[in-house]
Structure 1
Amino acid sequence: MLAAISPSSNFFHSTIEEEAEADTKPLVFFSRALDLDRPNHHEAAVMAAIPDFLFGLRNSFYLGAYQAAINNSDIPNLPADDALERDVLVHRSYIALGSYQLVINEIDSSAPTALQAVKLLALYLSENKEAAISSLQEWLSDAAVSNNPILRLIAGTIYMYEQEYNEALKHTNSGGTMELHALNVQIFIKMHRSDYAEKQLKIMQQIDEDHTLTQLANAWLDLAMGGSKVQEAYLIFQDFSEKYQMTGTILNGKAVCCMHMNRFDEAESLLLEALNKDAKDAETLANLAVCSLHLGKPSSRYLNYY
């Protein structure tokens, strides 16, 4: 979902109406969206009662607290695998904040495959799209590294941005990590296949129903399905807002739920709070443009940022 399982995605505003169209910053899950250097690390850690030193860092990343993830990344005495995952999350957080060149400069050719994949995402988002896709295809053709979870995640993310959803699923559909499953949910929603998205969500719920990514994926699907499900999505974002630092991701999630429920005044208030956190956040600006149109207010002030 996932840069940030962030991300990355125009899902929020595009599910309301197409009244305000704009390119959005990636929800460097996307998604804004990780246990990516070894499959199901989180659930394995829980089962084996092994301390999960990166839980807080992952959670910050998933929920869009990218600067907090960076600031709290100095964790001593990490095992090698955890140290690599930490570095991946930190660099993806920088990408989510738009610091593409920093990531490109810091990751050299000797870095592990996971970090090389993150660098490709930074290259892609810095408008070096052709070079990034060419390098990505080269890496994916190498049997020795093509199954790396981070590389598959980045491949799925880039092809999702390119709207080549079937190509994205070639690399993500087999899953293996929570974030890959979460990205699959996003891709299927973009393909208007809520039935397949629901199957992916059920897999995530079987692995860890309380995982932050499971809850986020549940909220995305609820919004896509609409109707009474929107209230359930709102409660998920409300729960996040009570448990964790308030972020643009959480505020936008609550605001979109409010817009679906015709509570545009409340949505505007939430979005203005998000704008105070990041005046250039594309998701916030796009949602404010849509909200303003429904409230009969000028939207050009938000569209002019793009």
Structure 2
Amino acid sequence: MRILAKSDSLEARSATVFTLLQMDRVDLAVKELKKMNEIDEDATLTQLALAWVNIAVGKDKLKDAYYIYQEMMDKYGQSPQLLVAQSAVLILQGKYKDAEALLHEAQLRDANNSEALVNLVAVSQFLGKDYEVMKRYIAQLRDIDAKHPWVLDLEAKEALFEELASA
């Protein structure tokens, strides 16, 4: 954080916003975002950081985050990353069917997108899909990205369950 604070670039400031949000310091992320807006409020990095902050704030700001991602897709095309980000907003809004559609679109563009698969597991649970559907997504995720944090966390929980069940 000290190194990032020394730079006035949008890249460093967006990394700072991201880090602050990971630390659950939305208040400080908002202040950093204001500095980014002073530099260039229309820059892609500023808009991405605004979407991140809006997601962290939640509630009414989720709509704004959704539209930021939509504007980016209109401008740059539907990348898997933007589709997954927009689907995350829909998940937070409880619009699971719409989120699932975006995630399937992301998979069409990149069948090996780990984040799309993780979100498909979550959406499948929310929609009450058959367990076999989730197992397929998890198996695919393990095949393409065995070191993904979600996979590692799942494996740790499975190991703990086995340990407790055998005790």
Aligning the two structures, in what range does the TM-score lie when normalised by the shorter sequence? 0.7 to 0.9
Deviation (angstroms), 1:177: 1.2
Flag structure 2 segments of 5+ consecutive residues without an equivalent.
Answer: 143-167
TM-score by length of 2: 0.79
Whole-angstrom CA distance in 2 between matches of 1:289 and 1:195 = 31
Any gaps of 5 or more consecutive residues in structure 1?
1-168
Q: Between Structure 1 and Structure 2, which shows a larger proportion of helix residues?
A: 2
1:300 maps to 2:135: yes
Counterparts of 1:60-75 in structure 2, within 5 Å, are none
Amino acid at match of 1:260: L
Q: Name the SS of the counterpart of 1:279 in structure 2.
A: coil
Residue of structure 2 aligned with 1:233, choices 56, 65, 82? 65
Q: Distance in 1 between matches of 2:138 and 2:8?
A: 39
Equivalent position amino acid for 1:210 in 2: D
1:249 aligns with 2:81: yes
Correspondent of 2:93 among 248, 253, 261: 261
Provide the rounded CA distance (Å) in 2 between the counterparts of 1:292 and 1:273.
Answer: 15
Spell out, residue by residue over 1:78-106, the C-alpha distance to the aligned partner (whole angstroms, 9 max, x if none).
Answer: xxxxxxxxxxxxxxxxxxxxxxxxxxxxx
Matched residues in 1 for 2:63 and 2:126: separation? 20
**Aligned equivalents of 2:22, 2:114: Cα separation in 1:** 18
Report the CA distance between 1:176 and its aligned residue. Answer: 2.4
**In the alignment, what sits opposite 1:203?**
35
> For the aligned residues, what is the CA RMSD?
1.1
Q: 1: CA distance between counterparts of 2:50 and 2:9?
A: 16
What secondary structure, in the 3-state scheme, does the structure 2 residue paired with 1:285 have?
Answer: helix
Provide the C-alpha distance between the structure 1 equivalents of 2:82 and 2:23, rounded to a whole number of angstroms.
24
What do residues 168-214 of structure 1 show as CA deviations (whole Å, max 9, x unaligned)?
Answer: x1321223211111011110000000011111110110000000000
- Aligned residue pair count: 138
Residue by residue over 1:277-303, the C-alpha shift from the partner in whole angstroms, topping out at 9 and shown as x without a partner, is 111111111111111110112322222
Does 1 or 2 have the higher relative contact order (CA < 8 Å, sep 6+)? 1
**Correspondences of 1:1-306 after superposition (within 5 Å):** 169-297=1-129, 298-304=133-139, 305-306=141-142
Amino acid at match of 1:290: A
Distance in 2 of aligned mates of 1:237 and 1:187: 20
How many Å separate the matches in 2 of 1:217 and 1:302?
Answer: 29
* Alpha-carbon distance between aligned partners in 2 of 1:285 and 1:171, rounded to the nearest angstrom: 34
Between the aligned residues of both structures, percent identity stands at 36
Match of 1:119?
Answer: none
